[in-house]
Amino acid sequence: MGASSLTRYSRQTILQEIGENGQRALGRSRVVIVGCGALGTVVANNLTRAGVGRIVVIDRDFVELSNLQRQILFDEGDVGAPKAIAAVEKLRRINSEIEIEAVFDDFNFGNAERITDGADLVLDGTDNLHTRFLVNDLCVRDGVPWIYTGAVGTAGMTMNILPGTTPCLRCFVPEPPEPGSLPTCETLGVLNTIPAIVASMESTEALKILLGKHEWIEGKSVLTTYDAWSGEFDRLALERDASCPCCARRSFPFLTEENEGAAVALCGRNAVQIAPASKTNISFPVLAERLGNAGDVTWNEFMLTLKAEGREISIFKDGRAIVKGTDDPHVATSLYARYVGI
C-alpha cells in the first residue's frame, strides 16, 4: 500500500475487523453493482470510499428530479444524464486510486455474463424482481456470491446469497410475481432513509464477504428486514429448498431469451411495446388503486392507461403494454418496471 492509501484508509485499517491485510484484500476485489438508484448509489459510495479495487456500475436509466430525494450521488446538475455515467464521474472524484467502470445499459441475459465475468461479488441495486431473478440464475450457475436487497415504502430487506451454501432467491420466491402485483417506489412511495439503511447493511455484508469474514450456517441464511418508521427489526432464518428449481435442480430459465421481456419500438409512433416473458391476468381495479397516487389513471375492461412523467402507459390484461412518448426501449422498460413492476 502506498503512502496516500495508508492515509486515505487509516480509519478502517486500524479497525481490527479490517486491518492492513484486509485493506489489501479489498483493493484486489472486484464487485458489480446492478442498478444505480437509491440502493446502488449508497452501495457504490460506501465501497468506493472503502477502497474496493474494481467496481462496475450498470444502470439503464437517466437521472430525474424525483430521484434527488434519495439517490445520493446525484445533484441538480445531473438531471437528464445517464445514471451510471453521472455516478461514476462522482465516484472517481471521491477515489481516484481504484478502477471504476460505468455501463449505461439494461442488465439482461445478453450482457449479464460478460459484465459479471471475474466478479467476486454482485450487489443488488435494482428496482425490479425480473432483474433479481436473472442475477440469481447467473450467480448460482457461476458460483458467485450476491446480496439481495430491496426497499419500498418505509421498509427494506437484505439477504446474502452464497451459491452452494445458503438458500437462493428462488428458494423463497419460487416464481416471479405477476406484473402489477407488487408495490413499487412510484406507486407506494419511499422514505428516503430506508434505502440508505438497507444499502448500508448490504455494503457491510459486502465488505465481510470480500474479507471472508461473513458468518454462515450450511443450508441457511438470514433475511434481515427493517421498517424505519415503526423501528421494527427482524431477522428471519431461511432454509434451502431441496426442490428449488434454481439451486437444487440447476435450471436457469432467466438466462435465456424466452424469459427476457421484449421491448420493441413501434416505428414512427414515438411509442414502445413491452411484452413480458410470461403471460398474466392483471386485475385493473387493483392496479388502478395502486397507481392512483402516481398519475392519472383510466381503465375499461380491455386496457388501463396511466399518464405520468409526460408519458402514457397503456397496459393490457395479459401484461403487455404500450408506452407512448418515447421510442427508446430502455426508457419504456424502465417505466414499465417502475410503475407496473416486474
- Point out which residues bind Zn ion (CB under 5 A): 168, 170-171, 244, 246-247
Task: Write down the least CB distance from residue 241 to Zn ion, Å.
Answer: 6
By the 8 A CB rule, do 288 and 300 touch?
A: no
**Separation between Cα atoms, residue 222 and residue 161, nearest integer Å:** 9
Dmax (CA) of the chain: 68
Task: Write down the least CB distance from residue 255 to Zn ion, Å.
Answer: 15
Rg (Cα) of the chain, in Å, rounded? Answer: 20
CA distances from residue 253 to 32, 91, 169, 320 in whole angstroms, order as listed: 22, 35, 14, 20
Task: Write down the least CB distance from residue 111 to Zn ion, Å.
Answer: 24
Nearer of residues 74 and 133 to Zn ion, judged by Cβ: 133
CA distances from residue 152 to 196, 203, 241, 243 in whole angstroms, order as listed: 12, 18, 26, 30
Nearer of residues 102 and 134 to Zn ion, judged by Cβ: 134
Nearer of residues 44 and 244 to Zn ion, judged by Cβ: 244
Angle between helices 83-94 and 38-50 (to 10 degrees): 20
Task: Write down the least CB distance from residue 170 to Zn ion, Å.
Answer: 5
Task: Write down the least CB distance from residue 21 to Zn ion, Å.
Answer: 33
Q: Which residues contact 285 (CB under 8 A, 6 or more apart)?
A: 299
Nearer of residues 67 and 165 to Zn ion, judged by Cβ: 165
C-alpha cell at 294: 402516481
Task: Write down the least CB distance from residue 314 to Zn ion, Å.
Answer: 36
By the 8 A CB rule, do 83 and 74 touch?
A: yes
Nearer of residues 74 and 252 to Zn ion, judged by Cβ: 252
Nearer of residues 132 and 170 to Zn ion, judged by Cβ: 170
